[in-house]
Amino acid sequence: MNEVAADWQEAVRRFGRLLAQLRVEAGLTVRELAKAIGVAAATVSKTENGGHARPPDFYIVKQWVMACAQGADERGGFSIPLTLDWWRERHGQLERVHQKLSLQPPRSEIAGPSPTTTSPRHEHDAHPVPFEVLHQKAVDHLADRSAHVRMAALRTLGDLGDMYPEKRQRIVDELCDYLRIPPDSSDAGEGQVRRTAQMVLADRLRPKRSDNATAPNSAFWPDMDVDLKRAFLCDVYFNGCEFRRADFDEAQFKGEAHFDGARFVGEARFVGAVSWGMRSLLRGCASRRSAGFAG
């Protein structure tokens, strides 16, 4: 077993143990929790035992935490945070470990040239992989049929922007491009992929950390233009984000949408945006301009 695979096994078991401890502290049996979140009892057991080959869908994690939180007022004394931001970060860490496993090059590439190759291997090892190579690989994975591979690719794009500041607007544009693609209703994982794209974007647009409003966010990308015109958005959390210019004209919002404390430095457009069961839209925003909604 290679080092990345071993790290994944430990990470997924640790995440499962946290969920199991939360369920126990909430006073729920496996069957009670499974019924509350709409999954099979075997799925709950498998998740708690770290038996999944891929990260569980964050929607399941969210429902799990919310179901356990219902008993928080009555029982008290929870040793694990019940805030979704905390769980989103733990889930993100798990996905990043899986991303390393998913995007590993073929074994033949890891092994390098065969003994008969005349080029010495050390000549290539001294040079990092160029941005364009890593970027193209991530973009290619956005078309993969697996939702988990697409999520890993989206996180890779975010990581590349962290490493290459001059490429950030390009990557923001690509994340927005993905969110403008009409969702495939036959793909059960599409919703979580879109949430991942939105999270990768939002995490880079917050000047302050989401878990501590006074602490600076080291991953903040300033002066970004966001073009989500005619985008398809699902459970948006742009609270605390800063946009240089933002275009949400004719965007379709489904589920929750949070813009609490968002700051629009330049023009912000929401003309013709449609909400479906949306709440908390634009509450507490600064410098709103040209905002208009339908639905």
pLDDT at 6 over 90: no
pLDDT at 208 over 50: yes
- Across the range 169-186, mean pLDDT stands at 94
Q: What is the model's pLDDT at position 80?
A: 82
Q: Are residues 151 and 233 in the same domain?
A: yes
Q: Are residues 188 and 72 in the same domain?
A: no
pLDDT at 68 over 60: yes
Measured CA to CA in angstroms, residue 288 lies from 204, 232, 233, 273 at distances of 20, 21, 20, 15
Show the CA angle centred on residue 104, arms to residues 128 and 112, nearest 5°.
60
Count up the domains in the chain and report the number: 2
* Residue 200 neighbours by CB distance under 10 Å: 22
pLDDT at 211 over 80: no
Which of 233, 225, 220, 215 is closest to 268 using CA atoms? 225
Do the beta carbons of residue 98 and residue 54 sit within 8 Å? yes
Quote the percentage of the chain above a pLDDT of 90.
Answer: 28
Decide which of 101, 121, 147 is a domain's last residue. 101
Measured CA to CA in angstroms, residue 213 lies from 206, 209, 210, 286 at distances of 10, 6, 6, 16
Could you tell me the pLDDT band of residue 125, with boundaries at 50, 70 and 90?
very low
Q: Are residues 136 and 78 in the same domain?
A: no
d(CA 82, CA 65): 6
* Main-chain phi, psi angles of 159, to 5 degrees: -65, -40
Domain range for 149: 132-207+224-294
H helix intervals, the chain? 3-25, 30-37, 41-48, 58-69, 72-75, 84-102, 107-111, 122-125, 131-141, 147-163, 168-180, 190-205
* Residue 139 neighbours by CB distance under 10 Å: 14
pTM metric for this prediction: 0.58
Lowest mean pLDDT segment, chosen from 50-64, 83-97, 104-118, 240-254: 104-118
Q: Are residues 250 and 144 in the same domain?
A: yes
Tokens of 183: 């969702």
* Main-chain phi, psi angles of 147, to 5 degrees: -65, -35
The overall average pLDDT reported for the chain is 80
Query: Looking up tokens 């969210």, which residue turns up?
Result: 62
Q: Are residues 39 and 179 in the same domain?
A: no
d(CA 64, CA 61): 5
Residue 120 lies in a domain: no
Q: Are residues 56 and 190 in the same domain?
A: no
Lowest mean pLDDT segment, chosen from 71-80, 150-159, 194-203, 267-276: 71-80
Q: Are residues 281 and 136 in the same domain?
A: yes
Q: Are residues 145 and 265 in the same domain?
A: yes
What is the CATH classification number for the domain harbouring 81? 1.10.260.40
Residue 212 lies in a domain: no
Residue 123 lies in a domain: no
Q: Are residues 249 and 137 in the same domain?
A: yes
Q: What is the model's pLDDT at position 264?
A: 93
Q: Are residues 257 and 179 in the same domain?
A: yes
Residue 217 lies in a domain: no
